[in-house]
């Protein structure tokens, strides 16, 4: 029985220590928890109206630049260059010949 009493005393002491530790953790959370919550910090930083004002000002700046240079509002993309079928066949045949030469040299080595 005395051994059991000692175990109970140790368990109560451990319970008190852990309770004190939990209170300390709770205090730290209440002190610092609000600083690390995602919702506490505003993520956007700018209202939609503010973004719209900035976008309108930027469009006006670009309109002024385009008016000065005399170009239209269109951006012309360069024409995509294509290759004829016969040119592709010639290039493919030359490439196959090069690889055949490399493979033949590898077999001899």
Q: Which residue has the higher pLDDT, 66 or 42?
A: 66
Q: Is the dihedral of CA 61, 63, 64, 68 positive or negative?
A: positive
Q: What is the pLDDT of residues 73-84, one digit of tens each?
A: 567 788 888 999
Instruction: Say yes or no to pLDDT of 40 above 90.
Output: no
Instruction: Please state the pTM of the whole predicted model.
Output: 0.31
Residue 91 backbone phi and psi in degrees, to 5 = -65, -40
Band (pLDDT 50/70/90 cuts) for residue 102 is very high
**4: helix, strand or coil:** helix
């Amino acid at each position: 029985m005395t051994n059991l009493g000692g175990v109970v005393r140790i368990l109560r002491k451990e319970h008190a220590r852990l309770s004190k530790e939990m209170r300390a953790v709770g205090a730290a959370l209440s002190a610092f928890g609000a600083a690390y919550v995602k919702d506490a910090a505003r993520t956007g930083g700018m209202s939609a109206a503010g973004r719209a004002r900035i976008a309108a000002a930027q469009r006006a700046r670009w309109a002024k630049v385009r008016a000065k240079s005399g170009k239209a509002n269109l951006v012309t993309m360069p024409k995509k260059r294509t290759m004829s079928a016969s040119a592709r066949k010639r290039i493919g045949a030359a490439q196959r010949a090069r690889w055949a030469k490399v493979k033949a040299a590898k077999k001899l080595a």
